[in-house]
């Protein structure tokens, strides 16, 4: 279990990027969901011991992370948002190089670990190709392979699906889900669908604060019976936005279709629909705005 208690961080420019953050994160895939600027990277970097909070504590099982950052780093795999290292060497050579840096100095053991990871991340066939020639999805899977070197107990991936096509995204998320059967995986994302299907637990953060935390299904269930959907005209939209809690609007056949949060039917023509995580997300962000 990773336990965060009362983490605070204010940058020199006055931005309060972590505001009294407390979370318990068990083994499994944990989705940290929030819009750009919410404070996700700040929290990821703090947990990865790349920067210090102003106050608060972090424990990984019995380990006091802020007191013993070196011990944490030995159990950590980290895929930063801008993992920009794509030289012209092959994946096999590059991963071998990272393995040496991770302390896997014994040749046989290293070869075994590197080959197993290339298989696990489905890069074995492409292992001799230069990482520079990889697609976005392959690069992200390579990023996971390097993060998993040394069998970490905690894996942090920061906005890994941005820019991936739907196929690559699914493949990548499935890989994370498989890994998370044995380790804590924290996936930070601003894409609601990344969290809906595969994360066993999640937190929504906005403006540095935890807005909601728990199982996605449980959070969704709290909105049952209160989400109404209807097609409206462009002209009606501003007035409805004033009178009701409009959570989202999307164009269906060229016409806006909106989701409203309300205790009872807001207008004729609106029908009750099953809530989704997107409704939870937008409602929480509105409340925090
Ligand atoms: P996210 O990853 O959710 O987009 P960040 O943690 O990157 O959020 O940023 C949270 C807030 O802190 C933003 O307002 C951002 O501009 C600010 N911020 C992030 N890093 C720094 C920094 N090094 N110095 C000053 N402000 C920062």
pLDDT in tens, 54-77: 999 999 999 999 999 999 999 999
- DSSP letter (8 states) at residue 41: H
The fold for domain 2-216 equals: Rossmann fold (3.40.50)
What's the pLDDT at 253?
Answer: 86
Q: How many CA atoms lie within 13 A of 283 on its CB side?
A: 19
Of 146, 209, 200, 153, which Cα lies nearest the Cα of 173? 200
Atom 23, ligand 1: residue with shortest CA distance: 11
Query: What confidence tens digit (pLDDT) does each residue in 228-250 have?
Result: 999 999 889 999 999 999 999 99
Tell me how far apart the alpha carbons of residues 147 and 143 are, in angstroms, rounded to a whole number: 6
The whole model's pTM is what?
A: 0.92
User: Does the pLDDT at position 11 exceed 90?
Assistant: yes
Contact status, residue 10 vs residue 25, Cβ threshold 8 Å: no
- For a ligand 1 pocket test, name from 41, 79, 285 the mutation site with the most ligand atoms within 8 angstroms of its C-beta: 41
Ligand 1 in reach of 45 Cβ (< 6 A): no
C-alpha of 98 from chain center: 24
pLDDT tier at 86, thresholds 50, 70, 90: low
Contact status, residue 273 vs residue 229, Cβ threshold 8 Å: yes
- DSSP letter (8 states) at residue 50: S
What is the number of other CB atoms lying within 10 angstroms of the CB of residue 220? Answer: 18
Query: What confidence tens digit (pLDDT) does each residue in 185-224 have?
Result: 999 999 999 998 889 999 999 999 999 999 999 999 999 9
Compute the residue count for the chain.
289
Ligand 1 in reach of 38 Cβ (< 6 A): yes
Atom 16, ligand 1: residue with shortest CA distance: 37
- Which atom of ligand 1 sits closest to the CA of residue 34? 3
Ligand 1 in reach of 40 Cβ (< 6 A): yes
Assign residue 50 a region: left if phi > 0, alpha if psi is -120 to 50, beta otherwise? alpha
> Where do the domains of the chain lie?
2-216, 225-273
């Amino acid at each position: 279990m990773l336990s965060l208690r009362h983490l605070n961080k204010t940058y020199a420019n006055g931005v309060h990027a972590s505001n009294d953050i407390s979370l318990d994160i068990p083994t499994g895939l944990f989705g940290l969901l929030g819009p750009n600027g919410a404070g996700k990277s700040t929290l990821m970097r703090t947990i990865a011991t790349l920067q210090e909070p102003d106050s608060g504590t972090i424990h990984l099982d019995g380990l006091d992370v802020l007191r013993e950052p070196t011990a944490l780093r030995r159990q950590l795999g980290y895929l930063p948002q801008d993992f920009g290292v794509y030289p012209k060497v092959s994946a096999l050579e590059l991963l071998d190089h990272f393995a040496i840096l991770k302390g896997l100095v014994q040749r046989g053991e290293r070869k075994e670990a590197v080959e197993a990871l290339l298989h696990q991340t489905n890069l074995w066939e492409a292992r001799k190709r230069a990482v520079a020639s990889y697609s976005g999805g392959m690069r992200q899977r390579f990023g996971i392979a390097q993060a998993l070197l040394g069998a970490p107990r905690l894996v942090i991936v920061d906005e890994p699906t941005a820019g991936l096509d739907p196929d690559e995204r699914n493949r990548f998320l499935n890989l994370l889900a498989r890994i998370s059967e044995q380790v804590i995986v924290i996936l930070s994302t601003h894409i609601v669908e990344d969290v809906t299907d595969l994360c066993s637990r999640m937190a929504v953060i906005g403006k540095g604060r935890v807005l909601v935390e728990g199982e996605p299904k449980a959070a969704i269930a709290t909105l049952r019976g209160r989400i109404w959907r209807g097609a409206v005209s462009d002209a009606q939209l501003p007035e409805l936005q004033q009178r009701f809690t409009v959570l989202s609007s999307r164009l269906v056949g060229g016409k806006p279709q909106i989701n409203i949060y309300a205790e009872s039917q807001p207008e004729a023509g609106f029908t009750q629909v099953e809530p989704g995580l997107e409704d939870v997300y937008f409602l929480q962000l509105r409340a925090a705005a």
